[in-house]
Amino acid sequence: MKVNGIEYQTVWMEGGLVKMIDQNLLPFQFQIHECHNYLESCHAISSMIIRGAGAIGAAAGFAMAQAFIESDHAEDKLKFIKEARSAIEATRPTARNLFYAVEKVFDAGRISVEMAINEAFSIAKKDAADTRLIGKHGSELIEDKANILTHCNAGWLAFVDFGTALSPIYAARDQNKSVFVYVDETRPRGQGARLTAWELNNENIPHIIIPDNAAASLMASGKIDLVIAGADRIARNGDVANKIGTLDRAIIAHHFGIPFYIAAPLSTFDEHCRTGKDIVIEYRSPDEVLFQDGIDENGISRRIRIASPNSSALNPAFDITPAELITGIITEKGIVKASAESISTLLTKNER
């Protein structure tokens, strides 16, 4: 995607340096963050400098490649690499793409450092290609003058390029379809209000930010035609882990008979995970609920407490949407049902 006329990907690698768009600074500042070693890349993932399933996966793959490069200076290379792998995998436990990338780069690196680097680049390249195809297939669901609800950010910032939930919207726009996007603010970190809205504004796509608790009212009044969300992990039976609040949207959409789609590449599917009950849910710091970051009227960055000073908070980062609430899953191979049979067939064909 372009920012100020320049083509960018969300994350990339130059030599042993991993570079990424600092998403914690958006939408107020556009800045490139540099990670000089795998531990710095780990910090970038855990602190959400980079976030989103595909972007996390690509960053983790590059971090694993960095670890292989660094292992040349270790006394016990294998021990160093295994410890690095554990550290990278511990950064975000829910997103399947992270584990997918780390495993592939780890296996390649056992052959050579060069193979690890090549595999990391291959994963990032495939992520961009897959999400472009998700846009192509998903755009078939979008009619002219459609009103679409999104949750969290599953645009190009969440992947190497194009994105998942937003990719069909970009593709529909390129097909000269008129679309309007209702953007859930997505508390507590505001990925919708900060990132999705920034993306859509950058692409000149009409949109409006709504409070998370306004979705039901908008659906009830007939203002939403379609819901598209992303995914961080998909179980074999079609259950989906995604940003907290996705389950709410699915329940409401089901009640009002509104199509609810998940968009995700095959790297998000976990064939070893039977149902959503097997997915580990990440719990993050209560501070994300109790405080908010922003800029004042003078453009100065500030952090303020917005909740009772004597109260704590519970902050689950994800929830599980059961397969029966999902109309379909948009993948790079096409649109499939959220069912064990359809997913098994999809994954089996992909292995051939």
Q: What is the pLDDT of residues 124-147, one digit of tens each?
A: 999 999 999 999 999 999 999 999
Q: Which residue's structure tokens are 């095959």? A: 266
pLDDT given at position 301: 86
CA dist 96 → 91, 160, 245 (Å): 12, 15, 19
Question: Rounded to an integer, what distance in angstroms lies between the CA atom of residue 232 and that of residue 95?
Answer: 5
Q: Find out whether the peptide bond into 188 is cis, omega within 30 degrees of 0.
A: yes
Q: What is the pLDDT of residues 202-239, one digit of tens each?
A: 999 999 999 999 999 999 999 999 999 999 999 999 99
Where do the structural domains in the chain lie, given as residue ranges?
Answer: 2-131, 136-351
Residue 290 contacts residue 120 (beta carbons within 8 Å): no
Rg of the chain over all Cα atoms, to the nearest angstrom: 20
pLDDT given at position 95: 87
Q: What is the pLDDT of residues 255-287, one digit of tens each?
A: 999 999 999 999 999 999 999 999 999 999 999
Number of H helices, E strands in the chain: 12, 17
What does the CA dihedral 103, 108, 110, 111 come to, rounded to 10 degrees?
A: 170
Q: What is the mean predicted confidence (pLDDT) over 319-328?
A: 98
Question: Rounded to an integer, what distance in angstroms lies between the CA atom of residue 318 and that of residue 344?
Answer: 24
Question: Rounded to an integer, what distance in angstroms lies between the CA atom of residue 340 and that of residue 342?
Answer: 6
Residue 225 has which token pair?
Answer: 């035609």
232 annotated active-site: yes
Q: Per the confidence metrics, is the pTM higher than 0.85? A: yes
- Other Cβ atoms less than 10 A from the Cβ of 233: the count is 28
Statement: residue 352 has pLDDT above 60? no
The fold adopted by the segment(s) 136-351 is Rossmann fold (3.40.50)
Q: What is the mean predicted confidence (pLDDT) over 78-86?
A: 97
- Other Cβ atoms less than 10 A from the Cβ of 258: the count is 18
Single-letter code of the amino acid located at 164:
T
pLDDT given at position 39: 98
Catalytic choice (232, 239, 270, 319): 232
Of all helices (H) and strands (E), which one includes residue 234?
Answer: strand 233-234
How much is the mean pLDDT over the chain? 96
What is 2-131's CATH number, 1.10.3720.10, 2.60.40.2140, 1.20.120.420, 3.40.50.170? 1.20.120.420
Q: What is the mean predicted confidence (pLDDT) over 298-312?
A: 93
Q: What is the DSSP-derived secondary structure letter of residue 101?
A: H
